[in-house]
Amino acid sequence: MHKSFKNVKADFPILRVEVNGNPLVYLDNGATTQKPQVVIDAISRYYSSYNSNIHRGNHTLSMQATDAHESARRKVRDFINAASEREIIFTRGTTESINLVAFSFGEAFVQAGDEIITTEMEHHSNFVPWQLLCQRKGAHFKVLPMDQNGELDLAAFKSLLTERTKLVAVTQVSNALGTVNPLEKIITLAHSVGAAVLVDGAQGVQHLAHDVRGMDVDFYAFSGHKMYAPTGIGVLYGKEKWLEQMPPYQSGGEMIEQVTISGTTFNTLPFKFEAGTPNIEGPIGLAAAIDYLAQFDPCELQTYEEDLLDYTMERLGSIPELTIYGNPKKRSSIVSFNVKGIQHYDMGMLLDLSGIAVRTGHHCAQPIMDKFGIPGTVRASLAIYNTYEDMDALIEGVLRVKKRLGK
């Protein structure tokens, strides 16, 4: 029996607070999600009951903390259907996961004259690291364009791929437009020329299917804080065949096997990539978030969020002089818009007066803004606890701002 979506808000204590004298309507989930009480309790229980460093101690608290940390790794393995916990590396977030691959895969496999392909719709964290890698190695940086609907041009992708393409980096869901990309087609095409594929799953893992073996993806990166877990914890999944050949990203404690004056040998996977004392509470909180999500039927959850997004798009689209950016065939969780004559930052500030939290700006996706010739947008992004009443509040808030400013 799966948990009902009814009264889900009651699981999230922060959603009971008021902002500027109004009930909080939280629509900035693309930036970070709120945390259910069970996640907060798991973190509190760690600090109050068995706080200790891990892997290196043989006392009771250390062993309890180590067990919880490694149990979380196995839970992540099952959550994304990885073949082994050796393929699950804990990082600080999606950004560090991508930088790890850009540095380590780049050192092992990218030479002068090789090619890296990313896309015009990427978050800067899946764009800039590849630019820098190409600059370091003398490789060619290629960018797959998108059209005015916010969809990638697969015909152009085929023409960009060559035998020198070493890696393709693509987002699962655009953080600025909500576009759901055709990963299976992209991965198949990339593999046909021998290229590896990294998928940025930061905006996808909590909304869509994330079976890494089903996708046959080489690397998959995501952040806990966008799926109801704490900040400061991320995951890099990598196929073992790649990770074994890649050099360490950072050095220090834990990632070593033996250190001598004459040289150093490295630990086994995944610890080779986890230098230093980790964010121990992070995986514990992430495991609690995975358990929380497991209470819901994933198909029902996806359908609910899609219906809620469709409702929001329809109501926003009925507002005069409001432009919604992107019109992809498939969209998930995100809608970005502007109202003619109202600066996006002003819209966000005035909505906040009514307790409505949205994101404004370029969303770390400036190439997208350049494509549409705008400096930024208002972005509403959905989560499991959002309701039709929340979306009505957003629409009414936009209409109030328009009236207040005479637009």
Which one of 256, 353, 364, 395 is the catalytic residue? Answer: 364
Cα–Cα dist 207/143, whole Å: 26
According to CATH, the topology of domain 8-30+297-401 is: Aspartate Aminotransferase, domain 1 (3.90.1150)
- Closest by CA to 195, choosing from 177, 179, 213, 219, is 219
What is the arithmetic mean of pLDDT over 172-198?
98
CATH architecture of the domain formed by 40-293 = 3-Layer(aba) Sandwich (3.40)
Cα–Cα dist 401/407, whole Å: 8
Active site (annotated) includes residue 299: no
Burial class (CB in 10 A: 0-12, 13-18, 19+), 207: buried
The per-residue pLDDT for range 346-403, each reduced to its tens digit, is 999 999 999 999 999 999 999 999 999 999 999 999 999 999 999 999 999 999 999 9
Q: Is 187 helix (H, G, I), strand (E, B) or coil?
A: helix
The per-residue pLDDT for range 147-165, each reduced to its tens digit, is 999 999 999 999 999 999 9
pTM: 0.97
Beta bridge partners of 360: 378
pLDDT of residue 57: 85
Q: Is 289 helix (H, G, I), strand (E, B) or coil?
A: helix
Give 49's contacts (C-beta < 8 A, 6+ positions apart): none
Torsion over CA: 205, 386, 307, 153 (sign): negative
For residue 240, what pLDDT band results from cuts at 50, 70 and 90? very high
Where do the structural domains in the chain lie, given as residue ranges?
A: 8-30+297-401, 40-293
Q: Is pLDDT above 90 for 1? A: no
pLDDT of residue 324: 98
- Closest by CA to 86, choosing from 207, 246, 200, is 246
pLDDT of residue 78: 98
